[in-house]
Amino acid sequence: MTAGILRGPAAVADGSGGFSIEGVEIDPPGPGEVRVALRAAGVCHTDHASLSWAGPLLLGHEGAGCIESLGDGVQGLAVGQPVLLNWAIPCGVCFQCSRGADSLCERTHEVDGGRLGDSRAHAGATRWRGQALERSFHLGTFASHTVVRAEAVTPLPPDIAVDVACILGCAVMTGVGSVVNAAAVARGASVAVLGCGGVGLNVIQGARIAGARTIIAIDRVAERLEHAVRLGATHAWQVRDDDAEHRLLVAAVRALTDGRGVDHAFEATGVPALAFLPLRLARNGGDALQVSGAHGPATVELTQLFWNKRYLTPLYGGCVPARDFPRLFDWVRRGELELASLITHRYPLERLGQAFDDMLTGRSGKSVLQIA
């Protein structure tokens, strides 16, 4: 059976802050590519930020669905197979992939002055109003179908629901991976987590799975802290308006760690002004990790790096798909990694605007678009 061009709805950003749901044309998969019928797609702050990237852009970089058709030469995948999509697509052969740093793949990420390193590294032609359409992170999951390189999909085990697994490929991987890969949190360690949103809650889950003894959740919102405690935080600190300099917070974290500070302090708020706050929460010789991908200027008093502290900015939890996704699936199956309760809202694709509003106002936790 030969696959033909498909037409379906997709969310297309106009490059100046707006978007619309419109029909697009999706080509059949070429050699080494697969076409995926999307079932569900996670909504992330990055999707909202991407509304003002150069457009037009087909939105969405988290998602899961089933293989609809296979291009020539694709091995190990079958039509109908449920798969998870992964936005940091490793090529397997570049400098970074060769040293095991798949999430930094040079053929997938922008190198060379902002141009894509290798146009062959991203698959598929999607057209909109007769012109080729860029897709968010070479995926474009806010659509009925997407064509991707086969390396962008990971088969999902049959016992993990596709419309729950769809969030594994961004917030969960970033949070858990930052703990187990980047920080390598050891059993008995102490951890502090600034911000208990989609990424922060998964830092907390990762720390619990790693066996951390002290896990301090920090947020402004009481309900988020309650969720953090249900997912494994041993202590919760609600940030106070009268503590703008964070002195009370730093003192509270010290008090819980013999006056020393934690072994690993994570920033997961996305607020540039908080990017260096983990340095004040970490002990001498400890780690401060900025895992939110915050952009913008921030200043640091250099003595906060004293002494022997490490400041790390792991991308996507250092994800190596072939190593990390099977491990996440295992933890989900054993009930150690909770997914369902992270998803607070579901919307049809046409209500993406509402999903953005609810996310920005804090009414929703993690939102999912139910596509099919």
Q: Which residues bind Zn ion (CB under 5 A)?
A: 44, 46, 91, 94, 97, 105, 107, 170
- Nearest-approach distance from CB 93 to Zn ion, in angstroms: 6
- Nearest-approach distance from CB 306 to Zn ion, in angstroms: 34
The structure tokens listed for 192 are 């502090």
- Nearest-approach distance from CB 285 to Zn ion, in angstroms: 32
Q: Which helix or strand (DSSP H or E) is residue 5 part of?
A: none
- Nearest-approach distance from CB 236 to Zn ion, in angstroms: 25
Between CA 12 and CA 233 the distance in angstroms is 39
Residue of 135, 125, 139, 117 lying closest to 36 (CA atoms) = 139
C-beta closer to Zn ion: residue 68 or 102 = 102
C-beta closer to Zn ion: residue 41 or 147 = 41
The structure tokens listed for 267 are 């920033």
C-beta closer to Zn ion: residue 10 or 97 = 97
C-beta closer to Zn ion: residue 174 or 257 = 174
- Nearest-approach distance from CB 106 to Zn ion, in angstroms: 6
C-beta closer to Zn ion: residue 28 or 318 = 318
Residue of 178, 258, 266, 270 lying closest to 218 (CA atoms) = 266
Amino acid identity at 101 = A
C-beta closer to Zn ion: residue 93 or 184 = 93
Compute how many other C-beta atoms are within 10 angstroms of the C-beta atom of residue 229.
Answer: 16
- Nearest-approach distance from CB 117 to Zn ion, in angstroms: 9
Label residue 92 left, alpha or beta by phi (over 0 means left) and psi (-120 to 50 means alpha): left
- Nearest-approach distance from CB 63 to Zn ion, in angstroms: 10
**CA-to-CA separations, 183 to 187, 274, 290, in angstroms, rounded:** 12, 19, 11
C-beta closer to Zn ion: residue 154 or 257 = 154
Strands (E), the chain: 6-13, 19-26, 33-43, 57-58, 64-70, 82-85, 126-128, 131-132, 134-135, 145-149, 153-155, 190-194, 214-219, 235-238, 262-267, 282-290, 310-312, 343-348, 366-370
